[in-house]
Structure formats: structure tokens, C-alpha cells
């Protein structure tokens, strides 16, 4: 892949994450006519934001490293985050709506920001450029 194409993907992904952050209060579920209750709008909007942020973070990882193994691992991390963070976050928000403790705060940060995938960037960088090579 050419360096120019990599830069375009990188800029697009960073700009996309900034736009997702800036327009986080937009009710996307209402645009698509999904659900009528506040709860269904909440669930749809948070899911869309989670998937958009993580997809853009995966695009950034692809632009930085251009290796299939890193891309596949990042997708596995995203799917794991969907199950391990997004579902418990929704369960706490739906069944314990008045709970506002530290657990929900940490889950909120992990769900709404691509934190987990952004932590992969330094790890992949270390693995690719800094890790000592094995002698065969």
C-alpha cells in the first residue's frame, strides 16, 4: 500500500473519531426511525457509537501497520469488547438505572471511547519495531 493511501486512511479515521465525539449527542436512532422509547434510543445510539469508534480505530491500526495479523487481532479485541464491556454496560444501565458508581463510570469510558483498541497501537509498535528478533 502506498504511503499516500495510508495517510488518507489515517486522517479519515482520526477525523471520524473526532466527529463521532463532537456529534455524540445526536440521536441517530431517531434519524433511522428506530424505536420509540428513550431506552431503545439509548441502546441503539450507544451501540452505533461503540461500533463506529472501534471501526475507525481499526482503520487507524491498519493505516499505521498494514499487516493482516494486527487487523485480525484488533477485530477480535473489538468483538471481545462488545461482549465483555458493552453488554454489561447495558445490563447495568437498564436494570440498575440509578446506580452511578465507579463500575459504570469505567464501563462508560471503555464503551464510548476506543480506549482498548488505542492501547493496541503502542503494543503493535513495540512488537513490530522494538521487539528483539529471534535468531534461527
pLDDT at 19: 92
With cell 452505533, the residue in question is: 48
- Angle of helix 87-95 versus helix 102-112 axis, rounded to 10: 130
- Splitting the chain (136 residues) into consecutive groups of 10 residues, what average pLDDT does each group show? 86 93 86 80 88 91 90 91 87 83 76 80 86 59
pLDDT at 29: 84
Rounded to a whole number, what is the distance in angstroms from the first to the last CA of the chain? 29
- Extents of the domains making up the chain: 3-130
Give this prediction's pTM: 0.82
pLDDT at 136: 47
Amino acid at each position: 500500500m502506498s504511503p499516500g493511501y495510508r495517510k488518507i486512511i489515517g486522517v479519515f479515521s482520526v477525523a471520524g473519531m473526532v466527529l463521532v465525539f463532537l456529534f455524540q449527542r445526536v440521536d441517530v436512532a431517531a434519524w433511522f426511525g428506530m424505536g420509540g422509547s428513550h431506552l431503545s434510543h439509548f441502546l441503539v445510539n450507544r451501540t452505533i457509537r461503540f461500533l463506529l469508534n472501534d471501526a475507525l480505530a481499526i482503520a487507524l491500526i491498519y493505516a499505521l501497520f498494514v499487516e493482516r495479523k494486527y487487523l485480525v487481532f484488533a477485530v477480535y479485541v473489538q468483538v471481545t469488547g462488545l461482549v465483555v464491556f458493552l453488554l454489561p454496560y447495558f445490563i447495568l444501565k437498564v436494570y440498575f438505572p440509578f446506580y452511578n458508581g465507579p463500575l459504570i463510570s469505567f464501563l462508560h469510558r471503555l464503551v464510548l471511547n476506543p480506549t482498548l483498541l488505542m492501547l493496541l497501537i503502542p503494543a503493535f509498535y513495540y512488537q513490530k519495531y522494538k521487539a528483539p528478533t529471534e535468531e534461527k
